[in-house]
Amino acid sequence: MKKVGLFGGTFDPIHNGHMSIAYEALYRLCLHEVIFIPAGNPPHKSRNLITESGIRYDMVKAAVKDESKFTVSDYEIKKESRSYTYETIEYFKKSTSDLQLHLIIGEDSFFDIEKWANAQYILRNCTVVVFGRNEINYIKMSEHRKHIMDKYNSNILLLETPILEISSTLIREKLNKNENISYLVPCGVEEFIRKSQLYKQNYNL
């Protein structure tokens, strides 16, 4: 059975923090592949606050082009309706029967996961992989993990790993000020951003 990680996000833009998490999941869980899934119209974000989906998709492609085990899916950005995680999981389960899905999320998302649309389906149809930031949060996550696993009979993995303190907001702010971002994003992403002149003055942060 093929072990696949599903890594969704707005990726506006994708940065080295995202890449670090993907690599940690790939090697520590012995995944065959990590699929990056740029969000089309996230239910929790206003459309006018994020960069056009096709541009974000191209940035992710630029970020993963040199890693054979990283791929990018356009499933969510092609949807005309809002994108929900359970629908994405359902799509991948139907597309290939021989997949063991691992949903890669951060700790903030994990604490809110019961509020997600059709959370029960998510928790029963994939392994949820949660990345924590520090030891204190890891203790809280362990308690929440037990609650979720007992309630939904789900499989949840907690990975305590150093998280790079990088945010897409920080990168947009630096670009808006014409500051250096070469240490924050893959080189292909920086090149794409510079050529496309993204995140310039008056960008809504």
For the chain, the structural domain boundaries read: 2-165
Helical ranges in the chain per DSSP H: 16-28, 53-64, 85-95, 107-112, 119-125, 135-152, 168-176, 187-196
For residue 205, pLDDT beyond 50 = no
Chain segment 85-94, per-residue pLDDT in tens:
999 999 999 9
Kindly report the pTM of this predicted structure.
Answer: 0.92
Sheet holding 127-132, edge to edge: 70-72, 33-38, 2-9, 99-106, 127-132, 156-160
pLDDT category at 203 given cuts 50, 70, 90 is: very low
pLDDT category at 136 given cuts 50, 70, 90 is: low
Dihedral, 44, 24, 67, 91 alpha carbons, nearest 10: -40
Judge contact between 37 and 7, C-beta under 8 A: yes
Q: What pLDDT sits at residue 48?
A: 58
Judge contact between 12 and 189, C-beta under 8 A: no
Who wins on pLDDT, 31 or 163? Answer: 31
Chain segment 25-77, per-residue pLDDT in tens:
999 999 999 999 999 866 555 555 789 999 999 999 999 999 999 999 999 99
Q: What pLDDT sits at residue 162?
A: 73
C-alpha span between 160 and 110 (Å, rounded): 14
For residue 204, pLDDT beyond 50 = no
Using DSSP's 3-state secondary structure scheme, residue 95 falls into: helix
Q: What pLDDT sits at residue 47?
A: 55
Chain segment 98-127, per-residue pLDDT in tens:
899 999 999 999 999 999 999 999 999 999
CATH topology of domain 2-165: Rossmann fold (3.40.50)
Judge contact between 159 and 130, C-beta under 8 A: yes
Using DSSP's 3-state secondary structure scheme, residue 56 falls into: helix
Judge contact between 28 and 159, C-beta under 8 A: yes
Judge contact between 154 and 116, C-beta under 8 A: no
Instruction: Give the rounded percent of residues in the chain with a pLDDT score beyond 90.
Output: 79
Cβ neighbours of residue 10 under 8 Å, at least 6 residues apart?
A: 38, 39, 42, 45, 50, 56, 168
C-alpha span between 179 and 193 (Å, rounded): 13
C-alpha span between 193 and 69 (Å, rounded): 24
Pair type for strands 33-38 and 2-9: parallel
pLDDT category at 202 given cuts 50, 70, 90 is: very low
